Amino acid sequence: MTERSRALNIVYVWDGDYPWDVRTEKVCLALTGAGHRVEIVARNRRRSQLSEILPEGTVRRMRPLSWASRPLDATLGFPAFFNPRWHALIRQTAKNSKADIIIVRDLPLCPTAIRVGRKLDIPVILDMAENYPAMMRDRRASARNAVVDAFVRNPHLVELVERYSVRHAAWTLTVVNESSDRLERLGANPARMSVVSNTPPRSRAESAACRAYGADGAITIVYLGILETARGIGEFIDAIGLLRRVHSQRYRGIVIGSGRDAEQFISRARNAGTLDTNVQFLGRLPHDDALRIVAKADVGTIPHHATESWNTTIPNKLFDYMAAGLAVVSSDAVPCKRVIEETLCGEIFKSGDAGSMAAAILRASAPASLQRMGSAGRQAVLSRYNWEHDTRVLLESIQKAESGAEWI
């Protein structure tokens, strides 16, 4: 830590079961590595032990309701800002740990954290990884909504929660400049915002220095992430099908991840005759295992639809692909397009257009392109898009938020 900094007691609020979440782990490890003491407030649908010491901090889980069934207990533990169970858990953890600062991940529990912060005179930082109102609109457009979505995931209600949160948090962390610009238009103070992106450590790019492309005569294109319609996996499957017709078995796609539309995509590949021959679905894998498979691919794909949601956030996988030395093929969602064009690490295609995507894969998979783009991505991670850089921004932001006299 710097001479001016001091060890802080920090409560990090994560609205799901923990472990595991990649950003929560990265942020909290960075905080403990800097000498701060971290307690992670988490949900407890699995009914795990209430307290657990991990390298990134001590996890404080919600106490299950002894009189409720597991499904009912999970429902009553839903991470909504009006849920008294979450208010009690955050308040108790902050009070017992003598918290100097509360960091709350994303919108659902931000008003709750702000309410606790006011009562205990503790500044609150919003760690905003997603454009929640736009994400809810994408979900609604998919026409696969649960009854609960009509209220707790209503885009108009989420917009109100967001406006309140960004105006009353002591500081806001975003993952990309486009997100900061959007929040500033909503009334957030740009002097109390900073970008802490979803970048990998430099070491991952260093270890990918020597690699062969298309070693077995085939080009492997990988997708890593959640399987939902708005993420464009349908177009990815169609693009592989188009390449298959012209190039036979030379192109194969690998899909790593799970999601609510997974069966829809598997059926799509089966109907196209590409399932297991040209497109493999590996399901959700442990993070390290997934990254090892990514590192053996040639091209990493980001087929996300260029909706407001993906025009104002950036996926971890972009930087994971770059660190592994893959050429990147992405839709023209604004942040991905900007980074790829800036670093020359890949090709861009028109969002939602499988033919445009197939053409971009062809351009990126030329031998000279694979080598040039893969090297450019690695160098960009080594020089700028790395977690070491973002850790410095994170720690500086926490110091500023904690020392500010006026934060409500």
**Structure-token match 């009914």, residue found:** 47
**Whether 212 and 251 share a structural domain:** yes
| Domain contains 408 | no
**Whether 180 and 287 share a structural domain:** no
**Whether 208 and 183 share a structural domain:** no
Rounded mean pLDDT for each run of 10 residues along the chain, 408 residues in total: 72 96 96 98 97 98 96 95 97 98 96 97 95 86 56 79 94 97 93 96 87 77 96 97 83 95 96 94 96 96 96 96 97 98 98 97 95 96 98 96 65
Question: 177: exposed, middle or buried (C-beta count within 10 Å: 0-12, 13-18, 19+)?
Answer: middle
**Whether 195 and 80 share a structural domain:** yes
| Domain contains 1 | no
Structural domain boundaries enclosing 314: 202-383
**Whether 261 and 116 share a structural domain:** no
What pLDDT was estimated at residue 138?
84
Contact of 39 with 97, CB cutoff 8 Å: yes
| Domain contains 370 | yes
What pLDDT was estimated at residue 215?
67
**Whether 363 and 229 share a structural domain:** yes
DSSP 92-116: HHHHHTT-SEEEEESSTTHHHHHHH
Backbone phi, psi, residue 332, to 5°: -90, 30
**Whether 37 and 85 share a structural domain:** yes
Query: Rounded to the nearest 10 degrees, how much is the dihedral formed by the CA atoms of 316, 319, 323, 328?
Result: 110
**Whether 148 and 265 share a structural domain:** no
Exposed e or buried b for every residue in 271-292, given b needs 16+ CB within 10 A? ebebbeebbbbeeeeeeeebbe
What pLDDT was estimated at residue 210?
67
**Whether 61 and 109 share a structural domain:** yes
What pLDDT was estimated at residue 296?
93
- Distance from the Cα of residue 219 to its chain's centroid: 27
**Whether 224 and 85 share a structural domain:** no
**Whether 337 and 391 share a structural domain:** no
| Domain contains 96 | yes
**Whether 34 and 64 share a structural domain:** yes
Q: Single out the residue of 44, 55, 127, 58 nearest to residue 97, CA to CA.
A: 58
What pLDDT was estimated at residue 407?
41
| Domain contains 3 | no
CATH classification at residue 288: 3.40.50.2000
Distance from C-alpha of 164 to C-alpha of 126, rounded to nearest angstrom: 12
What pLDDT was estimated at residue 362?
95
In degrees, rounded to 5, the angle at the alpha carbon of residue 391 between the alpha carbons of residues 62 and 291 is 75
Indicate the number of domains in the chain. 2
What pLDDT was estimated at residue 247?
77
| Domain contains 134 | yes
Read off the pTM. 0.92
